[in-house]
Amino acid sequence: MKPVFLSETKSASVFAAILVFCHCFTSIDAYDALDPNGNVTIKWDIIQWTADGYVAVVTIYNFQKYRHIELPGWKLGWTWAKKEVIWEARGAQATEQGDCSRFKGNIPHSCLKTPTIVDLLPGTPYNQQSANCCKGGVISSWVQDPANSASSFQLSVGQAGTTNKTVRQPVNFTLLAPGPGYTCGPAKIVKPTRFLSPDKRRTTQARMTMNVTCTYSQFLAQKTPSCCVSLSSFYNQSIVSCPTCSCGCRSLAQPSNCVESRSPHIASALSRSDTINQTLLQCTNHMCPIRVHWHVKLNYKQYWRVKITITNFNYAKNYTHWNLVVQHPNFNNLTQIFSFNYEPLTPYGSINDTAMLWGVQFYNDMLMQNGPSGNAQSELLFRKDKTSFSFEQGWAFPRRVYFNGDNCVMPPPDSYPFLPNESASAAICTPRLVAALLVSLVSLFLHHWLV
């Protein structure tokens, strides 16, 4: 049988398909190589016993370095182990009360076996608040805004037991933040939390503490990626666009899945109530809400310069407090960054090859909807390390890019802008060299013949 060879174009397409497949396959695992210890931890502190149960402070800690919990916010659910009810909630509320007909006097806040709790909105009356509550369910990432990386509420639980031996942990915890994506483990009894008084002169201790750990998987959160990367450079005229269908394909059967940029129907589409919290994209070949463009701009004697542009193709959504994570081997020689904040991440110990970038507060920390203002730009200046610096073989481009914690689709490596091939310049010089040699030989011959 004769071997079958693919053409260069077909092999590139096959390779791109394999990359997309591998991207989807590897995203099944909740492990993130750039944030190996990232998780959301739910701490359940019983701070007081009551006549038929207890009072608990529940705190959601976001220990993820760069992944937010965005609007419309978190929803926390579980299943009670016995016949518990929630008598009162402060700083949050159950979405449903359930059937409380068996109670004749005081009516519980929720009688559901599987309650779902949501955060209260900013501006909630003070008598309904608890410490660190009422942010609309929004929790910032740990590195970008540590002061707002947690959310708390208080529950008064009845029919639950009144000692450490009679209380049972809730089971089947679920965390929607705001959609699927998090998988929560069982509640585990841990060492009781210690609380320090405001004057820092007295320490108290919880009666009992339970921890629940939830981990994120991009594959569970969404069927397709949400961002892609395009590339260009000063030394190559070609622009490497995002791979076609990076985040889905334009459907001829469903023409409403995107809107042309000059369409007169954009305003009417945005005014529809069903577009709230939905995606309304500009029609593109990649169909991604976000595109990150990396351009190698200038080459100095001791430095080189990169321009990063983040473009929002979503007509229906602003990205508040966005962030970008980029992996590149030269970040250990980053000299200056303009108009973005920067924090080095070291997922591999002492190796500094990963950077977290985000907007400056009140300047470009909000990535506006698609349109003239729907982009954010910055430039990075790197110092050259003569032992490792090179523009060859795609070295100048990032290895991995995340936007708001989601892995972006990269172009196939064989499509990266490369330096001009030296063999081409050699081919151009060869005729000149031949002509010069011929002229020299003719001159020598004539000189010898005339003499």
| Cross-strand partners of 60 | 42, 151
Q: Residue 419, SS3?
A: coil
Cα–Cα distance for residue pair 446/84, rounded to 1 Å: 112
Q: What is the mean pLDDT of residues 413-424?
A: 73
In the predicted model, is pLDDT for residue 21 greater than 80?
A: no
In the predicted model, is pLDDT for residue 433 greater than 50?
A: no
Which candidate, 99, 105, 70, places its Cα nearest to that of 216? Answer: 70
Cα–Cα distance for residue pair 357/351, rounded to 1 Å: 18
Q: Residue 128, SS3?
A: helix
Q: Residue 426, SS3?
A: helix
Q: What is the mean pLDDT of residues 163-185?
A: 95
Neighbours of 345 (CB within 10 A): 19
pLDDT class for 33, splitting at 50, 70, 90?
A: confident
Cα–Cα distance for residue pair 70/222, rounded to 1 Å: 15
In the predicted model, is pLDDT for residue 274 greater than 60?
A: no
247, 286 in Cβ contact below 8 A?
Answer: yes
In the predicted model, is pLDDT for residue 403 greater than 80?
A: yes
> The tokens of 181 are what?
């994506």
pLDDT digit string (tens) for 319-367?
A: 999 999 999 999 999 999 999 999 999 877 778 899 999 999 989 999 9
In the predicted model, is pLDDT for residue 427 greater than 90?
A: no
| Lowest-pLDDT range of 168-177, 189-198, 415-424 | 415-424
pLDDT digit string (tens) for 379-388?
A: 999 999 888 8
Tell me the domains of the chain and their CATH numbers: 40-220 (2.60.40.290), 225-422 (2.60.40.290)
In the predicted model, is pLDDT for residue 19 greater than 70?
A: no
Mean pLDDT value across the chain: 86
In the predicted model, is pLDDT for residue 286 greater than 80?
A: yes
| Lowest-pLDDT range of 140-144, 176-180, 251-255, 366-370 | 251-255
Could you tell me the pTM of the whole model?
0.83
DSSP secondary structure letter of residue 351: B
User: What region, left, alpha or beta, does residue 189 occupy, with left being phi > 0 and alpha being psi -120 to 50 degrees?
Assistant: beta
Spell out where 120-235 has E strands: 150-158, 171-176, 182-184, 188-190, 194-196, 203-205, 208-216, 227-233
In the predicted model, is pLDDT for residue 55 greater than 50?
A: yes
- b/e map of 379-393 (b: 16 or more CB within 10 Å)? bbbbebeeeebebee
Neighbours of 285 (CB within 10 A): 14
State residue 139's pLDDT score: 97
Q: What is the mean pLDDT of residues 266-277?
A: 56
68, 143 in Cβ contact below 8 A?
Answer: no
Which candidate, 179, 216, 219, places its Cα nearest to that of 20? Answer: 219
Q: Residue 117, SS3?
A: strand
> In this structure, are strands 290-299 and 227-233 parallel, antiparallel, or unpaired?
parallel
pLDDT digit string (tens) for 60-104?
A: 999 999 999 998 999 999 999 999 999 999 999 999 999 999 999
Cα–Cα distance for residue pair 123/134, rounded to 1 Å: 8
